[in-house]
Amino acid sequence: MKRRAFTGLLASAVAWPSARRAQARKAGLKVGYVIPATKTTAATAAFTDGMRSVSPELRDVEDVLRYTGGDPARIVPTIKDLIESKVTLLVPPGPALLRAAKGIAGTLPIVTYDFETDPVAEGFAQSIAHPGGNVTGIFLDMPTFSGKWMELLVECVPRLSRVALIWDPSTGRIQIDSLTAIATQLGLQFDVLEVRERADFTGAFAGARDRGANAAILLSSPLAYNNLSETAELSLRHRLPTITLFSQFARAGGMLSYGPNLVGAARQAGVLAGKVLMGAAPGNVPIERPTRFELLVNMRTAETFGIKIPAQLQARADEVIE
């Protein structure tokens, strides 16, 4: 008994410094967040929560936060600052940030949540199941998904004949190409209205109405996400039924929103980051699709436009704002 006790004690003594060294290594990890806004968002907090849920060893990971304030000129300097800060992993949400990070980060692991990019077509990954490089994360299957927006507008807007597509070109062509193809298949006319900064939204909505659009789709982008209250107000001012990906748009007065839950997707991406920080190679961590989608209908806005939302669509909605 004494010998077994001594042996156990010796084994514990050997294991204890090893465990302490492992804990110290985890405590020295740093995650660099590129935030395309002026302050920390709920998505950033959700990412961190998802990451730390992977293992208690990740509770002391340091969060290094840097903000671009929505200014494209600050993207590259911000990412370079994080790299110089010796972060262990980069989090650049959205296509513009991801492209910039991939271009200058070398082999530094990158985990993102990006609803506008096809990671395989853009060369960020060899395949969804096996990315093979230093990038993984949560990506939306936009060609399949974007048709849902058009279907919802056709279902809600009587005699829809012309739709405005309000698009930030910095996100790439995957969304706009999918939507123009779908509009053509449905026999709808369309206008592509580009926005590159906040001030452009005013002209885009006015131009959509001047060209005779019956409805609009505000394509997904970080620029759109950062200006949802303004774009909801513009859609009301111009009496233009509009749909976008972000639920805050409908809560701010826009008529419809349908898309992944951003906070849920960020947390999902955080779990993947946790796996990488625990030792998995990013190229071996499969890319995932968002798992939670939300449909919101603002009945007050629909009534303002003189639109009667079908009862079956109301029944499908996750939230009906009355």
What residue ranges define each of the domains in the chain, with the CATH number in brackets? 22-139+262-284 (3.40.50.2300), 142-259+293-321 (3.40.50.2300)
State the Cα–Cα distance between residues 93 and 116, nearest whole angstrom. Answer: 10
Q: What is the pLDDT along the chain (322 residues), one digit of tens a residue?
A: 444 444 444 444 444 444 444 444 466 899 999 999 888 889 999 999 999 999 999 999 999 999 999 889 999 999 999 999 999 999 999 999 999 999 999 999 999 999 999 999 999 999 999 999 999 999 999 888 988 999 999 999 989 999 999 999 999 899 999 999 999 999 999 999 999 999 999 999 999 999 999 999 999 998 999 899 999 999 999 999 999 999 999 999 999 999 999 999 999 999 999 999 999 999 999 999 999 999 999 999 999 999 999 999 999 999 999 9
pLDDT number for residue 19 = 44
State the Cα–Cα distance between residues 33 and 47, nearest whole angstrom. Answer: 10
pLDDT number for residue 26 = 65
Q: Which amino acid is at 46?
A: A
pLDDT number for residue 142 = 86
State the Cα–Cα distance between residues 190 and 175, nearest whole angstrom. Answer: 14
pLDDT number for residue 222 = 87
Q: Quick check: 154 and 167 in contact, CB under 8 A?
A: no
Which two tokens mark 183?
Answer: 């509009």
pLDDT number for residue 301 = 98
Q: Quick check: 265 and 290 in contact, CB under 8 A?
A: yes
State the Cα–Cα distance between residues 50 and 271, nearest whole angstrom. Answer: 5
Q: For the packed helices 174-185 and 142-156, what is the interaxial angle rounded to 10 degrees? A: 40
